[in-house]
Amino acid sequence: MSTENEGNAVPPAPSAPPVPVASPAVSPQGPAPEGDAPTAPLPPVPQDTPAAAQAPAHQASPSGPAPDGSWPPPPPSTPSYGDGGAGGFGGAGGAGWGASYQQPAPKPRSGRGGVVAAVLAAALVAGGLGGGLGYTLAKNNDSSGSTTVSASDSSASQVKRAPGTIANVAAKALPSTVTIEAESSNGEGGTGTGFVFDTQGHIVTNNHVVADAVDGGKLTATFPDGKRYDAQIVGHAQGYDVAVIKLKNAPSDLKPLALGDSDRVAVGDETIAIGAPFGLSNTVTTGIISAKNRPVASSDGSSSSKASYMSALQTDASINPGNSGGPLLDASGAVIGINSAIQSSSSGGFGSGQSGSIGLGFAIPINQAKNVAQQLIKTGKPVYAKIGASVSLGDSGDGAKITDQGSGGAAPVESGGPADKAGLKPGDVITKLDDHVIDSGPTLIGEIWTHEPGDKVTITYKRGGEEHTVDLTLGTREGDN
């Protein structure tokens, strides 16, 4: 599956675990606060890649050592780069997969502004032309007897936008969203989205949205009313693709968006996405939850970055480059996810050379993102759950196989780690984590990261053709290094 983060193409992901037949009923979410975006297209899947349900699966190379399953493997050795280029696959030992988003070559900010300005100018010209034609036609047909009826001002003011309508949700949520501009020290960068997390001025977004500003860059956040604030990075988690920034001189009247419960979301629930697609700030789109627990992996394409993994919410709400980091809301206006990636079939959207939405968008579940954000605010560093074993990243469809050799020559099963204590050995194939089917190493990593260190999980695995079940307590790893 190919996905995008603000112009970064993502490679195909393995097929997702099946969604339970009986979806839990959605409980009422917390009330939305009162008061009044970079996704990256996934690169095309290689021609020799077999197709899988919903998302193409990458055929991994069997050679070389396997990456460490307790932490995202190193990024693809030959990542694709550029606008709509073919997706690069691989990783340590040539084992690669998933939807890795790629950061295209940075463009001066003025380039994006030019695109928006051109669109607005075209609209103004078209509007002027239409008005002139309308006046001429009306004058020439003055005696035709044709009449029109206009709605009265009182009728327009009586339109009811009850709670739960898209217009009502948008009116309440928009004032708590921001358009983020990240600029590197050399003056290049991009645009994304974020939303107010608390009254202290913390804004939650994607890691890849702020990546350009990590080392000595500049961040700004602009609200829909035009108020603009400088911001600084509080913490960022490359593996989760979550970041927290804080407004400098934050206003005292910030209204955080209410957070929902992504575990209780059901397929078919209505969704509302807010972001800045192609730089068009404060854009609202709608759709539904198309699937849950969709395994997605992404990478910014740089040689130093690690992959990001998520067990994503899939939505058909229109999401484009610039939407990344923005909130995915439910029908009550509560945040259920952070828009992070899209799958795209071609390049060249909106005159920018970037791919656009084809109705396959992916969001980080808010339950996971909330825990990550709170950890970043507390310590500035992410914490990851792990089982302490290296697994193959090949999408065999049979499960996640513990490799014979760990990353960098390390032991495939960490001595004294959770997997070791549970009796797991190299060659074991993990097929389930609790009640979630595991069809590949990336799927396993994504599922593990929906948990917190210390959580107890049940692992189902095969050894010598026989199935076994064991309980283990997840370990911990701090930081992205």
CB atoms within 10 A of CB 426: 16
Question: Cβ distance 310 to 240 under 8 Å?
Answer: yes
DSSP annotation string for 75-94: PPSS---SSSPPPP---GGG
Q: Which of 80, 176, 305, 324 is catalytic?
A: 324
Residue found under tokens 């988003």? 101
CB atoms within 10 A of CB 341: 40
Two structure tokens written together for 233:
């990075």
Two structure tokens written together for 174:
């928009």
Among 44, 32, 41, 34, which Cα is nearest to 5's? 41
Two structure tokens written together for 41:
């297209």
Question: Cβ distance 335 to 325 under 8 Å?
Answer: no
Active site residue 176: no
Among 239, 321, 301, 285, which Cα is nearest to 39's? 321
Active site residue 208: yes
420 φ/ψ angles, rounded to the nearest 5 degrees = -65, -45
Q: Which of 208, 236, 436, 451 is catalytic?
A: 208
- Residue 301, judged by CB atoms within 10 A of its CB (0-12, 13-18, 19+), counts as buried
Q: Which of 212, 241, 316, 428 is catalytic?
A: 241
Two structure tokens written together for 3:
């996905």
159 φ/ψ angles, rounded to the nearest 5 degrees = -60, 130
Please provide the size of the chain in residues: 481
Active site residue 261: no
Question: Cβ distance 118 to 279 under 8 Å?
Answer: no
- Please identify every residue annotated as catalytic: 208, 241, 324
